[in-house]
Structure 1
């Protein structure tokens, strides 16, 4: 028993990709229109400034980072290696103060410290006085 199927026409099997190409091109045009726009920074933008005040007026414990090896915990010098022992009796929150002109790598390295990874870290900023 033989079964005769209709002959295939090569023109009907061909998939038309022109609509897909047009869609991709339009999506790329929209993407580059949105991504290529300039971000305008407001002219009245003011960055936070820090000033030195007494550590007693700040929340406790507060870790002030001035450089890679110059760290102060509640106003007293502490080395990064001794930070776990210095924070042993405190709660889970550490207030971190760093100058706005410090390099971002300094903040990232400090936040990667093993003792600070396990704790909640809150960044502290100080409002500059009227004479600054």
Structure 2
């Protein structure tokens, strides 16, 4: 009786995934560089706030106060929605003050609805401290 040997099992060729992983990582890097460059190329500039101690009657002008119900007053005079643009023709900067209970979305939507052109907007905050008094930050 002759014994026959079985052929040795062939080793399966293993796929080297390191090249594919390197390609994916490089593609992700290029993607984030490209999309980050598009986002940063916008014309939006953000300046850090400067704090100044001012009495309430010395707040900057023109000052628009936005209420929680989107009502607006410009230097103490009520303003109807959509009529703010013509009032600011001579002023390159608009100072915005909002009540502490007013959400940022309300303030942004009220100002955006006015379609202001070439007007710089600065936020004004009022600091109330019993020992120091009132002040404003611009």
Structure 2 residues without counterparts, runs of 5 or longer: 1-10, 25-54, 134-138
> What RMSD over aligned residues (CA atoms) do the two structures have, in Å?
3.2
Runs of 4+ aligned structure 1 residues displaced above 3 Å come to 18-21, 114-118
Aligned partners of 2:123 and 2:103: how far apart in 1?
15
Change (3 A) 1:114 1:66: closer
In the TM superposition, 1:31-46 aligns within 5 A as: none
TM-score (norm 1): 0.53
Q: Equivalent residue of 2:125, what SS?
A: coil
Aligned length: 90
Aligned partners of 1:101 and 1:86: how far apart in 2?
26
For residues 73-109 of structure 1, what are the alpha-carbon distances to aligned partners after superposition, in whole Å with 9 as ceiling and x for unaligned? 0111111221122222x32100000112212320220
- What is the match of residue 64 of structure 1? 65
Q: Equivalent residue of 1:81, what SS?
A: coil
TM-score (norm 2): 0.51
Structure 1 residues without counterparts, runs of 5 or longer: 1-9, 25-52
Q: Does structure 1 retain, via aligned residues, the 8 Å contact 2:61–2:94?
A: yes
Flag the structure with higher strand content.
2
